[in-house]
Amino acid sequence: MKNFRLQKLWGACAVVVGMLVATGGAKAASYTWTGASSTLWGEAGNWSPRGVPTLGDSATIGDGRSVLLGLDTLVTDLTTGVGTTILGSPVLTVAGTFTDNGSNLDGAGALAILSGAAMNYNGSANPNANGSRPLSNSGTVSINSGTLVVGTASLQNAGTLKFNGGNLSVVAPLGLEGVIQILGGSVRGIGTINGHVTNAALFAPGYSPGTITINGNYTQTSTGRLDMEIGGTSPGTGYDQLIVKGSATLGGTINLIRYNNYLPPVGSSFKLITYYSVAGSFTTIYGLYPSSDRYYKITKAPSYFLASVSWSSA
Q: Considering the domain boundaries, does residue 177 fall inside one?
A: no
Tell which of 147, 173, 205 closes a domain.
Answer: 147
> How do residues 62-98 score in pLDDT, each as one tens digit?
999 999 999 999 999 999 999 999 999 999 999 999 9
Q: Considering the domain boundaries, does residue 200 fall inside one?
A: yes
Tell which of 147, 168, 201 closes a domain.
Answer: 147
pLDDT higher than threshold 80 for residue 15: no
**Bridge partners for 87 per DSSP:** 68
Q: Considering the domain boundaries, does residue 173 fall inside one?
A: no
Residues 260 and 132 both lie in one domain: no
> How do residues 99-141 score in pLDDT, each as one tens digit?
999 999 998 899 999 999 999 999 874 555 677 899 999 999 9
Tell which of 89, 118, 147 closes a domain.
Answer: 147
- Domain count of the chain? 2
Three-class SS of residue 219?
strand
Residues 195 and 285 both lie in one domain: yes
What single letter denotes the amino acid at residue 100?
Answer: D
On average, the pLDDT of the chain sits at: 91
Residues 129 and 230 both lie in one domain: no
- Say how many residues make up the chain: 314
Q: Considering the domain boundaries, does residue 171 fall inside one?
A: no
Question: Which range marks the domain in which residue 62 is found?
Answer: 1-147
User: pTM of the entire structure?
Assistant: 0.91
Residues 129 and 235 both lie in one domain: no
Residues 211 and 300 both lie in one domain: yes
Q: Considering the domain boundaries, does residue 165 fall inside one?
A: no
Residues 143 and 189 both lie in one domain: no
Residues 16 and 87 both lie in one domain: yes
Q: How many CB atoms lie within 10 A of CB 264?
A: 23
> How do residues 18-28 score in pLDDT, each as one tens digit?
434 433 445 69
Across the range 304-313, mean pLDDT stands at: 95
Check residue 264 and give its pLDDT. Answer: 98
Reading across the β-sheet that carries 39-40, which strands appear in turn?
A: 39-40, 66-68, 85-87, 104-105
